[in-house]
Amino acid sequence: MVQAWYMDNDSSNQRLEHHRKPPEFLSLEDLYKKTGVEYFSININTYKSDGVLDKIKKDRGYTYEDEIACSKECLPNYEETIKSFYEEHLHKDEESRLVLDGSGYFDVRDGQDQWIRIAVSAGDMIVIPSGIYHRFTLDTNNFIRTKRLFIGEPVWLPYNRPADNMPCRKEYLEKQEKGFVTAY
Ligand SMILES: [Fe+2]
């Protein structure tokens, strides 16, 4: 079940929850309004035939998909790879992930440059907009399997911060300033 909260400023072990004291949770609606991150709930047992994911794919124009697993067994140089996922970056395209198994954290910056942590597990699908600074980490379970979706030929290239002069970054900031129109 997805949850989102503001992170503390403790930079130790990225796999921990990093709640503030007391915790400061956000609703999915607030998450969307502040960041443009979209959320969809998918039934992992029926998604191949229930039409929900198919409709999202059609609506958003996703034509490519694959699956990727992250664990100590699946990834060479696990610790280094996990650290590289955790480098703050952005993409020219949106980042769409459906969690099929396991769990992890997507962290995104809000308009005040504060980190919001989004905890995802099986059935959670999130769409991180183009041009938003973000990062990913596994949690203490050290396992996640996700479906990656993309419009056209996939490009996974990260641009590490600072990337403030990129057109996608400027477009994102303009949208954020105008306010993301609620999808709910
Ligand atoms: Fe990314």
Please report, in range form, the residues annotated as the binding site: 89, 91, 95, 134
Q: Is the overall model pTM greater than 0.85, yes or no?
A: yes
Q: How far is CA 148 from the centre of its chain?
A: 11
Task: Report the C-alpha dihedral over residues 87, 92, 98, 102, rounded to 10 degrees.
Answer: -10
Q: What domains lie within the chain, and their CATH numbers? A: 3-178 (2.60.120.10)
Which residues carry a binding-site annotation for Ni(2+)?
Answer: 89, 91, 95, 134
Token reading at 22: 């007391």
The string of pLDDT tens digits covering residues 52-83 is 999 999 999 999 999 999 999 888 899 898 99
117, two tokens: 């942590």
CA of 133 to the centre of ligand 1 (A): 8
pLDDT digits (tens, 9 = 90+) for 117-143: 999 999 999 999 999 999 999 999 999
Calculate how far, in angstroms, residue 95's C-alpha sits from the geometric centre of ligand 1: 6
| Helix or strand run (H / E) with residue 31 | helix 28-35
The two structure tokens encoding residue 81: 């790879």
